Chain A
Amino acid sequence: MSPVPISYCREHGMLKYAIRRILISIPILLAVVTLIFFLVRSMPGGPAVAVLGDYASKETIEALEKEMGLDIPIWQQYLVFLRGLLSGDLGKSLINGMPIAPQVARVLPYTLELTLSSAIFGILFGIPLGVFTALRRNRMFDYVGRTLSLAGISLPSFFLGILMMLVFSVKLDLFPVVGGGDIRDPIDSLHHLFLPGLTLGLMMTAYITRTTRSSILNVLREDYVRTARAKGMRERIVIYGHTLRNALLPVVSLIGVYAIVLIGSSVLVEIVFSRPGLGKMMVGAIGRRDYMTLQSVMVVYAGLVVIINLLTDLSYGLIDPRIRYD
């Protein structure tokens, strides 16, 4: 799709709309951050107990909590956190004292490459499959496509991931099991990304196939499609010129939702494939009750969700010129 011309943005108030949405996102993010901050601290067991384990005596817990700065009132901790967040500082891990921002910066590309590649895979395969199954409704191709997409939705990602590793890594010896590769080396990175990307991508494909199929079937029943056919237009133009573009609007809307589901599913895929990523970081932080790391990762997740929602909303206008942003 060609870049959006500025004149278009001005005409449709797209920029204004984007700025307004970003401004609206700020109180939403603040509410989410506050909720996360207090939810994280409501978990039973603190970081001191998690670190000390069997050696968690009253005396050692108190000493360690003091060292971690958890002895100050919670509202003060909240203000410190907010102040840090506003200045772009996510703080330090309570457990190992390492700054969190560089850790997030290190793993975020792994999560992004995983979710993006899966989303692209899902769009590239899901939309054509959805179109084909819709055009061959109630025929063998449709039945097979629907069954496979149902399987794709039903199979848990961790199970599919393990199956993938068993076949492609252990039996065929094609792909590695451990790690995410060197992100600076595109070939190594792709080599490590292939199986996890495929695992999530298949799930995304299944979702998009089903949505596209039902959307196409709905549009095919519209009067303008019937009119186009009656005018003797070629079927290819009817399908790709008239039907698909109109059918894509709900698909795009749901792709946004599925992308958020994808980010959630990436947690399990990162664990199964032992890939670095926000999900793995989050699970580790939960186990260690590392409040600072946990709340920072959640804030990043919340930010990603807001961005995806914004991009989804903005993309409507590109597909459907009837949509106005003012």
Chain B
Amino acid sequence: MKQQMRLITTKLAMVLAACVLMISLSFNYALSAGDQVLRMANKYGDAKSLDAHRATGSQDRLIVDLVFNGLVCYQPGNLSVDAIIPDLATEIPSSKVLDDGRQQWVFKLRQGVMTHPYDGNPGYELTSEDVVYSLQRAADPKRSSFAVDYSGMTFEATDKYTVQVTLDQPISAFLFLPKFANRGGGLIVAKKALEDKGDDWFKTHPVGTGPFVFKEYIPGEKVVLTRFDKYYKGTPKLDGVEWYYMPSDSSRELALQKGELQVIEGPKEQAWAEKVASYPGVVVDSPNSAETIIAHFNMTVKPLDQLKVRQAIAYAISRKEFVAVYGPKVSSPIYGVAPVGRMIAGLSREEAAKENLVFEQDLAKSKSLLAEAGYPNGFSLEVFTSESATYRRAYELLQAQLRKIGIDIKLSVVDHSTFHARIRQNLDPIVFYAAMRPNPDVILTQFYLSDSIVVTGKKAITNFSHIGEVDADGDGQIDSLDDLIVRARLEQDSTKQVALWKEAQLELLRKMVSYPVIAIGYIFARSPKVDWGYEMITITDGPNPTEKTRLLP
């Protein structure tokens, strides 16, 4: 009896194991059956908003860029303004200054561009009505996160395929075109879809004219897009794109190794890139981006209100050590707030050196400056950092470097959302900020204009240093860059404009308002079967498939 029972149990176990094996193999076969669906994963837990005018986070931008078009667009894989080409517009517009001093730009629209089908509606031809509606929406702070970029602009449809943009104050093409490109608020939405279904619906059902049609959003899991057969540039080679939300780095790596995903985002660390590159069948790409890490000194906090103290800190920082920590293939030192080689008007080392404003690590000089400021034995400062590895590493390194000159940084860690909230409440004496901005004007406006000062500014955003409302150099006068920033913005001559932007950056260094540390690139790993269909030089939020992207057999 006992033996019989054992035999039955053994047989049952074997049958069960065989069933599990067969089911697994058949499923894996189904998964590996060669479809043309590109499966990608990012590190985020979920989407925030898929509305083109509310999508500010990388996880959302990566999706809306596939669903919508701008009037103009950056060439795929190249974020240089020189690389902006016509998209929904037939040509790059030119401007004219009107008699009343205002500036006018005219966009001629491409004919026959179709919107995606939505909720039973088959889609329709995009016209100037959609474009004007879209731009007015982008300029409305109640419906758009990018409204500030469009203040002082009016939009008018002069015929079915012509849109006129009028600016209260003239700006150069260099500043104008990015506002109408496929970044920020320049994406064109389908007016009828929004009017039919409303803003709330649109947050999770984007309808545009891009190469991929939104199919499904499963909160916390994935967004599914399918190819748009009527895409005006031609039917995409991919059948679809699936974006997965996978916060676990290890899970993304394993899914890539197994072939369930073809592209994954990784931490911006060379060590990770080297590890993943060693896996069989995995390729790592690290294109440049214009993302920078800059230390902003809060000049309302003692003793950071003293120029000599800030200079002492600057001389204690070693950019080389930062590059070593983030990895030389991923990061490079920067000497101005616009990253050299990655953005127009980037300040080079030579240009900073001419005015003795490089601030290479010099501990003797640093200690001497501290002593002159009345702190021969240093001081202590309570600082907090985000839990995000990019930020935490920067703060920990700063802590180690400043310890050498007697400055004791008492570091506490908070979650990323809390960090963003608290730095905007003026609570951190030193703010490391990692960000990518499209041009020097946006950097200078958001971080150094007096209107942008956190808490007190009229349009408070990210001026953490308080330049514009404090005496930065101790001469008894309030120091401000407002005039220089506005002059640069309105300058029509591109050479003069670049010179003004560089001068503003030098002024920031003279007053040691903030310390430009490094520029960091983007890292992602992919299957070698992914053919993007374009060369990747600089990217912003991550890699974007286009209508030319395909999966090789």
Binding site for B on A (CB under 8 A): 43-46, 49-60, 63-64, 66-67, 92-93, 95-98, 103, 107, 158, 162, 165-166, 169-170, 173-179, 187-188, 190-191, 194, 271-274, 276, 280-281, 283-284, 286-289
Q: Chain A residues near B28 (CB, 8 Å)?
A: 173-174, 176
Q: Known contacts A53-B56, A97-B204; is A272 also within 8 Å of B251 by CB?
A: yes
16 residue pairs from A and B, CB less than 8 Å apart: A45-B419, A51-B48, A51-B56, A57-B452, A60-B145, A66-B142, A96-B48, A98-B204, A107-B220, A162-B250, A169-B258, A174-B20, A276-B220, A280-B220, A281-B219, A288-B48
Shortest CB–CB separation between residue A188 and chain B, in angstroms? 7
**Does the CB pair B254–A58 fall under 8 Å?**
no
- Interface-central residue, B20, B24, B218, by most chain A CB under 10 Å: B24
A285, B169: Cα distance in complex, Å: 42
B414 at the interface (CB under 8 A from A): yes
- Interface-central residue, A52, A187, A190, A289, by most chain B CB under 10 Å: A52
Q: Known contacts A43-B418, A97-B200, A287-B45; is A177 also within 8 Å of B258 by CB?
A: yes
Beyond A96-B50, A288-B48, 4 additional pairs, beta carbon < 8 A: A49-B420, A96-B47, A176-B27, A179-B221
Q: Chain B residues near A64 (CB, 8 Å)?
A: 145
Q: Known contacts A271-B248, A284-B219; is A51 also within 8 Å of B54 by CB?
A: yes
Interface residues on B, range: 35 or more
Q: Known contacts A43-B418, A173-B28, A178-B260; is A54 also within 8 Å of B200 by CB?
A: no
Q: Closest chain B residue to A179 by CB distance?
A: B221
Shortest CB–CB separation between residue B320 and chain A, in angstroms? 28
A107, B219: Cα distance in complex, Å: 10
Q: Known contacts A45-B417, A58-B457, A274-B251; is A191 also within 8 Å of B47 by CB?
A: no
A49, B460: Cα distance in complex, Å: 13
Shortest CB–CB separation between residue A173 and chain B, in angstroms? 6
Binding site for A on B (CB under 8 A): 20-21, 23-25, 27-28, 31, 41, 44-50, 54, 56-57, 141-142, 145-148, 200-201, 203-204, 218-221, 244-248, 250-251, 254-255, 257-258, 260-261, 414-422, 424, 435, 452, 457, 459-462
**Does the CB pair B203–A170 fall under 8 Å?**
no
**Does the CB pair B460–A58 fall under 8 Å?**
yes
**Does the CB pair B251–A49 fall under 8 Å?**
no
Contact partner of B148 (CB less than 8 A), chosen from A57, A66, A97, A174, is: A57
**Does the CB pair A55–B146 fall under 8 Å?**
yes
**Does the CB pair B219–A98 fall under 8 Å?**
yes
A272, B460: Cα distance in complex, Å: 39
Q: Closest chain B residue to A273 by CB distance?
A: B251
A66, B141: Cα distance in complex, Å: 11
**Does the CB pair B220–A284 fall under 8 Å?**
yes
Contact partner of B461 (CB less than 8 A), chosen from A45, A57, A67, is: A57
Contact partner of A174 (CB less than 8 A), chosen from B24, B146, B218, B244, is: B24
- Interface-central residue, A162, A187, A280, by most chain B CB under 10 Å: A280
Contact partner of A283 (CB less than 8 A), chosen from B247, B418, B420, is: B247
A286, B45: Cα distance in complex, Å: 10
Q: Known contacts A176-B31, A280-B220, A288-B48; is A54 also within 8 Å of B56 by CB?
A: yes
Q: Chain B residues near A50 (CB, 8 Å)?
A: 48, 417, 420
Q: Chain A residues near B27 (CB, 8 Å)?
A: 176, 188, 191
A53, B54: Cα distance in complex, Å: 10
Shortest CB–CB separation between residue B458 and chain A, in angstroms? 8
Q: Known contacts A97-B203, A191-B23; is A57 also within 8 Å of B460 by CB?
A: yes
Q: Closest chain A residue to B255 by CB distance?
A: A177
Q: Which 5 A-B pairs have the closest CB atoms?
A: A45-B421, A97-B200, A284-B46, A284-B45, A57-B461
Q: Chain B residues near A187 (CB, 8 Å)?
A: 23
A38, B419: Cα distance in complex, Å: 20
**Does the CB pair B246–A49 fall under 8 Å?**
no
A283, B48: Cα distance in complex, Å: 13
**Does the CB pair A280–B147 fall under 8 Å?**
no
Q: Known contacts A43-B418, A55-B146, A174-B24; is A288 also within 8 Å of B251 by CB?
A: no
Shortest CB–CB separation between residue A105 and chain B, in angstroms? 12
**Does the CB pair B457–A95 fall under 8 Å?**
no
Q: Chain A residues near B246 (CB, 8 Å)?
A: 178, 274
**Does the CB pair A56–B248 fall under 8 Å?**
no
**Does the CB pair A170–B145 fall under 8 Å?**
no
**Does the CB pair A55–B247 fall under 8 Å?**
no
Q: Chain A residues near B148 (CB, 8 Å)?
A: 57, 59-60
A98, B220: Cα distance in complex, Å: 13
A5, B295: Cα distance in complex, Å: 72
A64, B56: Cα distance in complex, Å: 13
Shortest CB–CB separation between residue A76 and chain B, in angstroms? 21
Shortest CB–CB separation between residue A55 and chain B, in angstroms? 5
A55, B420: Cα distance in complex, Å: 11
**Does the CB pair B254–A177 fall under 8 Å?**
yes
Q: Chain B residues near A57 (CB, 8 Å)?
A: 148, 452, 459-461
A170, B256: Cα distance in complex, Å: 9
Q: Closest chain B residue to A54 by CB distance?
A: B435
A53, B415: Cα distance in complex, Å: 14
A56, B24: Cα distance in complex, Å: 47
**Does the CB pair A45–B420 fall under 8 Å?**
yes
A162, B419: Cα distance in complex, Å: 30
Q: Closest chain A residue to B256 by CB distance?
A: A177
A18, B236: Cα distance in complex, Å: 61
Q: Known contacts A174-B20, A271-B248; is A44 also within 8 Å of B203 by CB?
A: no
Q: Chain A residues near B416 (CB, 8 Å)?
A: 287
A228, B137: Cα distance in complex, Å: 84
- Interface-central residue, B248, B435, B460, by most chain A CB under 10 Å: B248
Q: Known contacts A44-B421, A103-B219, A174-B20; is A55 also within 8 Å of B145 by CB?
A: yes
Q: Chain A residues near B49 (CB, 8 Å)?
A: 51, 95-96
Q: Chain B residues near A173 (CB, 8 Å)?
A: 24, 28, 258
A286, B422: Cα distance in complex, Å: 16
**Does the CB pair B221–A165 fall under 8 Å?**
no
Q: Chain B residues near A274 (CB, 8 Å)?
A: 221, 244, 246, 248, 251, 255
Contact partner of B203 (CB less than 8 A), chosen from A96, A107, A286, is: A96
**Does the CB pair B146–A56 fall under 8 Å?**
no
A288, B254: Cα distance in complex, Å: 26
Q: Closest chain A residue to B45 by CB distance?
A: A284
